[in-house]
Chain A
Amino acid sequence: AQKVTQAQTEISVVEKEDVTLDCVYETRDTTYYLFWYKQPPSGELVFLIRRNSFDEQNEISGRYSWNFQKSTSSFNFTITASQVVDSAVYFCALSEMRRGQFYFGTGTSLTVIP
C-alpha cells in the first residue's frame, strides 16, 4: 500500500495564481513527521517545510502555507501568487518514528505559465 499519495500528477497555473498541492498519507504511528520537497529541473531535491504529528496549527511562510489535518490524513501545500521559478516537481514525504523510514509520494509536476 502506498504510504504517501499525491493524486495530482501534473498541474498548470498562470503566473500569480494560487495553487494547492494535495498529499494524503497513511501511518499507524502516533508520532511522525511530514515534509514537502521541491525538485527543480536541475534535479536536486530541496527541503521546504516540515510538520510533526502533534502540531496541527497551520502556518504561512512567505508565499508558502500548509494545511495539516490529522482527521483526514492530509498535508496540503499552497503556493500563493505563483512565479515561474516555482515550476518544479513537488514531493510530499512521511517519516515514521517507529520504523525511522522516509517515504516519498510520486510527486506533482507544477508548471507556472508566464
Chain B
Amino acid sequence: EAGVAQSPRYKIIEKRQSVAFWCNPISGHATLYWYQQILGQGPKLLIQFQNNGVVDDSQLPKDRFSAERLKGVDSTLKIQPAKLEDSAVYLCASSLGQTNSPLHFGNGTRLTVT
C-alpha cells in the first residue's frame, strides 16, 4: 500500500512570498488533515477534510492560509503572504475516517521563511 505522498520536501522562501504544498492521501482514505508542526512542538491541526468538504478549519489563519481538496482526493495548502512565524513542517495525514482509525502521515514539507 502506497503511503501519503507530499511535495515538495523542502521549501525556502522570503517573507511576503507565496507557497503551495501538495498532498496525495492513501487510496480510499476519506479523511485528510493538514497539520503544522513548529520545531519542538506537537502537530497542530490546521484543517480537516471529509471527502471534499471541510470538517474543521477553526485553527487555520484564513487571512493567509487556504486549502482545498478538489474531487475528494489530492489536496493543496497555500500560504499567501508568508510570515517568518510560518516556518515549520507541514504534515499531511489521511485516515479511513472513523474515530478509531489511526492517522497515516506523509514525510512533511519543511518550510523556511527568511
* A→B interface (CB under 8 Å): 4, 31-33, 35, 42-47, 50, 52, 91, 93, 95-97, 100-102, 104-107
Contact = CB atoms under 8 A, between A and B. Distances in A.
A109 B54 CA distance: 33
Interface residues of B, number: 22
Contact of A106 (B41, B91, B104, B110): B41
Contacts of A95: 99-100
B103 A91 contact: no
Given A43-B89, A45-B43, A106-B42, A50 B99 contact: no
Chain A interface secondary structure, helix, strand, loop or mixed?
Answer: strand
B49 interface: no
Given A31-B99, A45-B91, A101-B48, A91 B104 contact: no
Given A50-B102, A96-B99, A107-B41, 11 more contacts: A4-B42, A31-B99, A42-B107, A45-B43, A45-B91, A45-B103, A47-B102, A47-B103, A47-B104, A97-B99, A106-B41
B102 A35 contact: yes
Contacts of A45: 43, 91, 93, 103, 105
B15 to A, nearest CB: 24
B105 A104 contact: no
B41 A101 contact: no
B9 to A, nearest CB: 9
Contact of A44 (B33, B55, B107): B107
Contact of B45 (A43, A97, A101): A101
